[in-house]
Chain A
Amino acid sequence: KNQVEQSPQSLIILEGKNCTLQCNYTVSPFSNLRWYKQDTGRGPVSLTIMTFSENTKSNGRYTATLDADTKQSSLHITASQLSDSASYICVVSTREINDYKLSFGAGTTVTVRA
Chain B
Amino acid sequence: DTAVSQTPKYLVTQMGNDKSIKCEQNLGHDTMYWYKQDSKKFLKIMFSYNNKELIINETVPNRFSPKSPDKAHLNLHINSLELGDSAVYFCASSQDVGTRPYEQYFGPGTRLTVT
Contacts and interface: CB of A to CB of B under 8 A. Distances in A.
Contacts of A100: 48, 55-56, 97
B99 A31 contact: yes
A34 B90 CA distance: 17
A91 B40 CA distance: 17
Is chain A's interface secondary structure helix, strand, loop, or mixed overall?
A: strand
A56 to B, nearest CB: 15
B109 A104 contact: no
Contacts of A43: 4, 90, 92, 106-109
Interface stretch (A16-24, A44-52, A67-75): A44-52
A1 to B, nearest CB: 14
A87 B107 contact: no
Give the interface size class of chain B. Answer: 20 to 34
Contacts of B45: 102, 104
Contact of A44 (B40, B43, B56): B43
A109 to B, nearest CB: 8
Contacts of B106: 43-45
Contacts, number: 50
A110 interface: no
A61 interface: no
A27 interface: no
Interface string A30-56: 011010001001111110011100000
A106 B101 contact: no
Interface string B93-108: 0000111010111111
Contacts of B105: 46
Contacts of A45: 106
A67 B101 CA distance: 17
B43 A104 contact: yes
Given A89-B43, A106-B42, A42 B99 contact: no
Nearest to A2: B42
11 contacts: A31-B99, A38-B41, A42-B109, A43-B92, A43-B109, A44-B106, A46-B104, A51-B101, A106-B40, A107-B41, A107-B42
